[in-house]
Amino acid sequence: MLQVFKEEKLQSQFESQGYVKLKLFSPTQIEKLRTYYDKVQSEHEATLQSHALYSSVETGNADLLMAIDKLLKDTIMDQVKATFQNYQTLISNFLIKDSGDETELMPHQDLTFVNEPEHCSFNLWIPLQKTDRNSGQLRVFKGSHRISKTLRVVPDYPRPFLPYLDTIRELFTDIETEIGECVVINHSVLHGSSVNLTGQPRVAIIMGFCTEGADIHYHYMPEGDSSRIEKYLMKAEDYYHFNPDGRPKYAKQIDTISYCYEPVSEQTFQSWVKKEPHLDLLTKAKLLYFKSF
Ligand SMILES: O=C(O)CCC(=O)C(=O)O
C-alpha cells in the first residue's frame, strides 16, 4: 500500500491502529467551516428531521456538495497537503448528529471504495466543536481493519461482525477532541460514535480520501442478492448524483459480481485477539478464557 502520511511515524500508527488523531487546524479555520454550516443548516434539517445522524449527501443537492468541496479546498487544503501524500480526494460532507438519548452510533465499517488491502480509503473527520463521551465523540476498535476483509456495499449486506457487537463496544477506544483536532480513520476499521446529550446538534466535516492511482468503485446489491452485486467505476463527481434507489446516476457499471458473505468465525476473532498488540493481557485473558463471544 502507498504511504499516505508524509511522516513515517503517523503512517505506522495508521497501519497498526487504523486511525490517527491529529491537531491540524486553527480555531479560525474551524469557525469558518462552522459559519458556512450555519448558513446551510436549514437545508440539511428540512429533508432529514427524523434521522439521528444525517449528512449533506442525503439532501441530494449536487450544488451544495460541490460548494462544500470548494469550501474545504479554500479553507484547509494547506494542512492537508502538508500532512498527506499519494492521495486522491473522494466526497466531502457535513455529518450531523442530533441531540438525544438514542443517538449512539453502533459499531460499523464504512463502504468499500477501493480494492483492499492493496489500496486503502479513509476519512478525515473534523468536528466543528469539542467532542467527548456526551457530545458525539468518535469511538474506534483499534486494529480491527486487520481482522477480516469484507465487501461493504449499498444498501446493506450481512454484517460479518454482528455476533460480536457488544464485545466490540466494550473494546472501543474513546477519542475526545478539542477544537482543531481531527481523526484520520481507515474506512475498514470498526467504529461508532457516542450519544450527543448537549441539546445541540453535533456537526462534523468528513472528507474522504483514497490512495493515488486506485480505481474507485461503488457496489450496489439489489434485493439482498449477493450473487449479482453491481460494480460501478466512479469518478469523484459521480458521488454527487444518485438515483432514489441508491444506484449512481451517471457512473458506468463495469461488472456484476458474486460475493460470499460469512460471519467472522469465533476462531478468526480469537486468533486476532491473541496476536493483537493493542489489547492488554487482562483484556486478552477475559476475551479468550472468561467470556463467550
Ligand atoms: O460522525 C459520527 O458520529 C460518526 C462518523 C462515522 O461513523 C462515519 O463517518 O462513518
| Other CB atoms within 10 Å distance of the CB of residue 203 | 20
pLDDT in tens, 121-151: 999 999 999 999 999 999 999 999 999 999 9
Atom 2 of ligand 1: nearest residue by CA position: 193
Question: Is the C-beta atom of 142 inside 6 A of ligand 1?
Answer: no
Average pLDDT value for residue range 216-225: 98
Predicted confidence at residue 31, as pLDDT, reads 98
pTM of the model: 0.96
Q: Measured from the CA of 95, which atom of ligand 1 is nearest? A: 1
Sorted by where each begins, the domain ranges of the chain are 8-263
Question: What superfamily would CATH give domain 8-263?
Answer: q2cbj1_9rhob like domain (2.60.120.620)
Question: Is the C-beta atom of 137 inside 6 A of ligand 1?
Answer: no
Would you call 280 helix, strand, or coil by DSSP?
coil
pLDDT in tens, 67-111: 999 999 999 999 999 999 999 999 999 999 999 999 999 999 999
| Other CB atoms within 10 Å distance of the CB of residue 169 | 15
Question: Is the C-beta atom of 45 inside 6 A of ligand 1?
Answer: no
Predicted confidence at residue 264, as pLDDT, reads 96
* Per-residue confidence band for 48, with pLDDT thresholds at 50, 70 and 90: low
Specify whether the CB–CB gap between 186 and 14 falls below 8 A: yes
Question: Is the C-beta atom of 95 inside 6 A of ligand 1?
Answer: yes
Strand order in the sheet with 53-55: 19-23, 181-186, 121-127, 202-211, 87-97, 53-55
